[in-house]
Structure 1
Amino acid sequence: MSQQVRAAVFRPDDGRLSDAAELLDSLGADPVPDAMLAVQPTDAAPREDADYTILTSKTGVELAADADWDAAGTVVCAIGESTADALRDADYTVDLVPEEFSSAGLVDALEADVAGARVEVARSDHGSDVLTDGLEDAGAYVHETVLYRLVRPDGAGDSAEQAARGNLEAALFTSSLTVEHFLEAATARGVREDAIEGLNGAVVGCIGAPTKRTAERHGIDVDVVPDEASFEALATAVVEDAAPSYHD
């Protein structure tokens, strides 16, 4: 007799949260959706005079397209395949996707070519300095446009209370900010320490090394970091890791 794995997921409630919950359900888990990120557009658009333009998320691509961004004359770079797919869906040509889907991977892919070039980085207000600092170190003239801000939604935190009561078997963090917002929500509800203890009795998955470092810095033990930085890989790995623990 098996018990279903209750897995908390924190993606933005813009379609990604419901898609994530549907995926977890298809894997045999019981999703506990609790959006920890909400998108606030700034109404800015990427500059159109850059030699290279970097997009780092599907959300950023959609906002750039909504602003009628003209990509003519720039080398369009996507941080990973999901961003590249969003660019293609919006009828942009993708010129570069790094082998490693990360800020460091983009720096590695571009550093030999950008000395003296104008590089536009269009992303959220929580982008990694690894990208901008690395490109500047390579000799690029870097300009950053904040396309949107990421905030914690009002009412977030039901999953923190579930964790504090020991009611979660798994949790899936997809960015450092989801970790931080989860803990802020737990603090606001007065259950921070109990929530961390509850997570440490569950299987915690993080989508990449930076998110893992953030979680561990706050005392959260991380059990799973998939080789591929995608939600599907994260969900599959976490459910596979958690499920054997709940079989009699």
Structure 2
Amino acid sequence: MSRVAFFRPDDERAKSAATIVRDLGCEPLSDPMLAIEPTGETPRSDADHTVFTSKTGAELVGTAGWRPSGAVVAIGTPTAEALEAADYTVDRLPAEFSSSGLVEELASDAAGATVEVARSDHGSAVLLDGLNDAGAYVHETVLYRLIRPEDAGRSAEAAARGELAGVCFTSSLTVEHFLAAAAERGVRAAAIEGLHGATVGTIGEPTRKTAEAAGIGVDVVPETAEFKSLAEAVVERL
């Protein structure tokens, strides 16, 4: 059975990913590369638009009792669903699930508007710069930090041994943490070489660029930035 690695946080996301990979007929290798460290902060409540970029951020504000005064904007269907589950109304969902897609979505309404961006400490500068350039007053609130778990790296060792048929990178940070874990275990070069013989998928263009800049060839990027679409694309290419 083909072995496919993924790097989702060690919660329901990893469990869901394992089920998806198993249902596609492959052996899942879960190696969480991200752990969530909440900051305890909440977004400002007086913005014209409040932007959420992840399911995690949506869940954190839901438990904090935050209420918006303006429009709620989500990047990605999982983010929108998490906001709705927390009893928020999602007013805008860009067709392109990316920072550049969101800038395009809000560009016509940005001039003079206050835009609150609520996300992790590793958010792309593309979003803030793009909104600023469009004339918005932009404020960022860091809801959580993304750290690498101490025991991460099983997938790097498996890649170095040539045991992976596929990998699913879901963010640039998962690529960076994969390589850092590989380096700590002394297998960075071997892990990259091992991935040359595997089908490598990334969830979007920024993640693809990060992987390729590190010498990892990328075979597939799904049209929809969701894990299920990514896993399906990787397995279809196997």
With the length of structure 2 as denominator, give the TM-score of the two structures.
0.99
Q: 1:61 aligns with which of 49, 58, 62?
A: 58
How far did 1:154 drift? 0.9
Equivalenced residues, count: 238
Q: Secondary structure at the match of 2:110?
A: coil
2:36 paired with 1:27: no
Q: Secondary structure at the match of 1:113?
A: helix
**Structure of greater Rg:** 1
Q: Secondary structure at the match of 2:109?
A: coil
How far did 1:101 drift? 1.0
How far did 1:93 drift? 0.7
Q: For residue 231 of structure 2, what is the aligned residue in structure 1?
A: 235
Q: Unpaired segments of 5 or more residues in structure 1?
A: 243-248
After TM superposition, list the pairs within 5 Å mapping 1:139-154 onto structure 2.
139-154=135-150
How far did 1:114 drift? 1.4
Amino acid aligned to 2:207: T
How far did 1:66 drift? 1.3
Q: For residue 90 of structure 1, what is the aligned residue in structure 2?
A: 86
**Deviation per residue, 1:10-51 (Å, 9 max, x gap):** 011121011101110000000111000000000000110111
**Deviation per residue, 1:122-159 (Å, 9 max, x gap):** 00001111111000001111000000000100110011
Q: Secondary structure at the match of 1:112?
A: helix
After TM superposition, list the pairs within 5 Å mapping 1:118-197 onto structure 2.
118-197=114-193
How far did 1:61 drift? 0.6
Q: Unpaired segments of 5 or more residues in structure 2?
A: none
Extract structure 1 runs of 4+ deviating beyond 2 A.
none
**Deviation per residue, 1:100-137 (Å, 9 max, x gap):** 11111110010111111111000000111111100000
Partners of 2:78 and 2:4 in 1: CA distance = 23
With the length of structure 1 as denominator, give the TM-score of the two structures.
0.95
RMSD: 0.7
